[in-house]
Amino acid sequence: MQIKHTVRVMVAVLVMLPVAAAGLAADERDESYPYWSYDIGAGSGYSSEGAFVEGQLGLNTHFNPWLTWRNSGFYRNQPDSDDFFGLDTSLLAGHRTRLTDQIRLSYEAGGGYRFTSIQQHAPFAEAGLTGRAGDLQLRASAKYLFYELVGDDRDNEFVFSVSISGRTTGRF
């Protein structure tokens, strides 16, 4: 019952966030879009097979101040199961706030799809909060994988992640 409530709240946030972000993105006018960034992170969670740890490397394409396409390769280590790797790809909407010239906060949420080396693919919803101070950026995120929607024999699961990066942007 608690999971159904959590999913409903996540869906409501995912629907409202892009609408709110569209009107709030004006403080980033000095940015030149599109640009890309990357980050390195670690995630943890619990599945029906026990606790796990994931290492992640993300590449993000920022189309404008409120829309980002995130691709994150991962490697999962789970003591009671075989290790596997894969790719998470998602489209995220959000908002950035510049507190000072050196400090920024941003939030984002969206959905995507997980592709794995063990053929257990699934859609997911994720939300993240990022803080940036100078050249250091820290991102915390939560991802909910919907394995049951695709009829897989796995239970749905949460993945909590923390990513860190330095000055990692580029233009194209």
Please give the tally of structural domains in the chain.
1
> What pLDDT score was predicted for residue 167?
63
pTM passes above 0.85: no
Q: How far apart are CA 107 and CA 52, in angstroms?
A: 26
> What pLDDT score was predicted for residue 4?
47
pLDDT block averages, 10 residues each, the chain of length 172: 44 39 36 84 88 93 93 93 95 94 93 95 96 89 94 87 75 50
Q: How far apart are CA 75 and CA 10, in angstroms?
A: 26
> What pLDDT score was predicted for residue 168?
61
Q: Which amino acid is at 78?
A: Q
CA dihedral (133, 74, 37, 92) positive or negative? negative
SS (H, E, C) 29-92: CCCCCCEEEEEEEEEEEEECCEEEEEEEEEEEEEEECCEEEEEEEEEEECCCCCCEEEEEEEEE
Q: Give the range of the structural domain holding residue 85, as residue numbers without chain letter.
A: 2-171
106-111's contacts with Cβ under 8 Å and 24+ in sequence apart are 106/130, 106/132, 108/17, 108/68, 109/13, 109/14, 109/17, 110/14, 110/17, 111/14
CATH number where 13 lies: 2.40.160.20
